[in-house]
Structure 1
Amino acid sequence: MQIETKFHGEMEVSKSDLWQFPKGMPGFEEEKEFVLLSIEGNAVFRVLQSVQTPNVAFIVGNPYTFTEDYSFKIDEPTVELLKIEKPEDIFVLGIISLKDPFEASTINLQAPVIFHAENKTAKQMIVNDESFSLRHPIGESQSSAKEEA
């Protein structure tokens, strides 16, 4: 299927690449289908792009790349909604706010996006843990990772 994207222009995506967000995303509840797109030359970041609305796109990355002590419990409503049976079924990404200079960029650890790899469903979950920041710095170490990718 053909979609219009924020960063990649018009492109072809397979229906098998679509992620269903049954409840949408906070603030974007009407956006139910997204696709994860690679960023050429960058293995650290990806784009979570709405299939419906070209301007609804988020830069995302693996939060464990940016902090070693990130651990949280997935709440029961999320487990039920995504039909999570075992930890291996899922992967987690965080929404990144890119800044200039790059070292000022941050990742949201308070609201990770949980993806169920088997059934292609996902949900952004609010973590009720104040030790995690909405704007966790991704730091200088990632600028070198970005350049190497």
Structure 2
Amino acid sequence: MRIETKFHATIDIDPTEKWYFPKGIPGFENETDFVLLPIEGSDALQVLQSTKQQEVAFIVANPYTLVTDYTFEIDSSTIDLLEINQPEDIMVLGILSMKQPYHKSTINLQAPLIFQVLNKKAKQMILNDPRFTVRHPLDKGGN
């Protein structure tokens, strides 16, 4: 499957690598199919790229590697939607807002992306947890 991407030009992807967001991403409800693409030179960052809209792409990272005290519980509606049976079935990523220099970048800890790795379903879950913000600095409470 060939797609146009924001950061990788035109690429071929394996359709089995697509992630399905049944309800889209808030603000992008019509975008339901995404792929995770590597960022050259970075093991920590990836691009969550829409398979339909070239300009819909987000820089994402594992929040647990950037923020030492990050923890939350997955709500029952997300567990049901994604058909999560055990913690090992999920991967969590956060959307970054990139700044120059890099240490001024922020990560959205208020709305993590939850990926069910067995069935390739995903959802952005809104936490409403006052401990975390949508623009959590990477240089505070992180590694």
Q: Aligning the two structures, in what range does the TM-score lie when normalised by the shorter sequence?
A: over 0.9
Please tell me the residue identity of whatever aligns with 1:126: I
SS at match of 1:79: helix
Identity of aligned residues (%): 56
Please tell me the residue identity of whatever aligns with 2:113: V
Q: Which residue of 2 aligns with 1:83?
A: 83
**1:119 shift after superposition:** 0.2
Structure 2 CA distance for aligned equivalents of residues 114 and 5 of structure 1: 22
- Higher normalized helix content (fraction of residues): 1
Aligned residues: 143
Matched, 1:102 2:102: yes
**1:66 shift after superposition:** 1.1
Q: Which residue of 1 aligns with 2:127?
A: 127
RMSD over aligned CA atoms reads: 1.6
**1:133 shift after superposition:** 1.4
Structure 1 CA distance for aligned equivalents of residues 101 and 118 of structure 2: 37
4+ residue segments displaced more than 2 Å: none
Please tell me the residue identity of whatever aligns with 1:134: V
Matched, 1:49 2:49: yes
Q: Structure 2: where are the runs of 5+ without partners?
A: none
Q: Which residue of 1 aligns with 2:24?
A: 24
Task: Give matches, 1:56-71, under 5 Å.
Answer: 56-71=56-71
SS at match of 1:88: helix
SS at match of 2:16: helix
Structure 2 CA distance for aligned equivalents of residues 31 and 133 of structure 1: 24
Structure 2 CA distance for aligned equivalents of residues 69 and 137 of structure 1: 13
